[in-house]
Amino acid sequence: MITLAEVMGVMRAMKNLPGKRLAMLFEGGLVVLASGLVVVLAWWPGWHLWQSIWPTWRCLPAAVLSGVLATVPLVGGYLLLVRLTWAPLVRLRRETVRVAHLLLGDASTWELAVVSALAGVGEEMLFRGVIQPVAVCLTTPLMGLLVASLLFGLAHCLTWLYFSFATLIGFYFGALALLCGEIVTPAVAHGLYDFVVLVHVLKLARRLPT
């Protein structure tokens, strides 16, 4: 049996890990968690999780290309938002830059790519590969999409405005999953979008005076 002292030792060790390692461990943990849930829940009668996650091998290149193209409007919206001077947006940008620099300020480009890829795969497997299909089976496609989007927003609830943006983006990823019938497309879009935003935000952070 694991003792309290051992748990505290693990927590202290994790506290001393660099932010980029913690980010990789967390997002990688989501991949493991979501994979386990898919394996367990895939056998539940009527819950066709496998079919809602993976395209056929023949359709995989098209799904990846669709994910790349689906990133374009996200990046366009982000570039528009960073130019707006609305006070709550300005405060959100400052907070985002501060948190990103605190966690990933020393990360290299390839490490940002790994974190982004893990986030794209792990979060999409969990929210669009497990939560949304289960919610759809229990309710309706629209209600399942709304439930998964709201939970996605809550999981990214840095501020109320960040929650709003995350919920909208989650709705976008969920709609992609419903339209495409798989999660490779939203996972690619998610990972690429995260990578572009992280690179840009950290570039802003490194320009700040120390």
Number of domains making up the chain: 1
* CA dist., res. 138 & res. 140, Å (int): 7
The verdict on residue 173 lying in a domain is yes
Residue 49 amino acid letter: L
This prediction's pTM = 0.88
The verdict on residue 160 lying in a domain is yes
Tens of pLDDT, residues 113-122:
999 999 999 9
Range of the domain at 116: 20-207
- What's 108's DSSP letter? -
The verdict on residue 90 lying in a domain is yes
The verdict on residue 10 lying in a domain is no
The verdict on residue 3 lying in a domain is no
Backbone angles phi, psi at 46, to 5 degrees: 90, -10
The verdict on residue 166 lying in a domain is yes
The verdict on residue 41 lying in a domain is yes
Tens of pLDDT, residues 31-49:
888 888 877 776 776 666 6
Helix (H) or strand (E) holding 60: helix 60-81
The verdict on residue 35 lying in a domain is yes
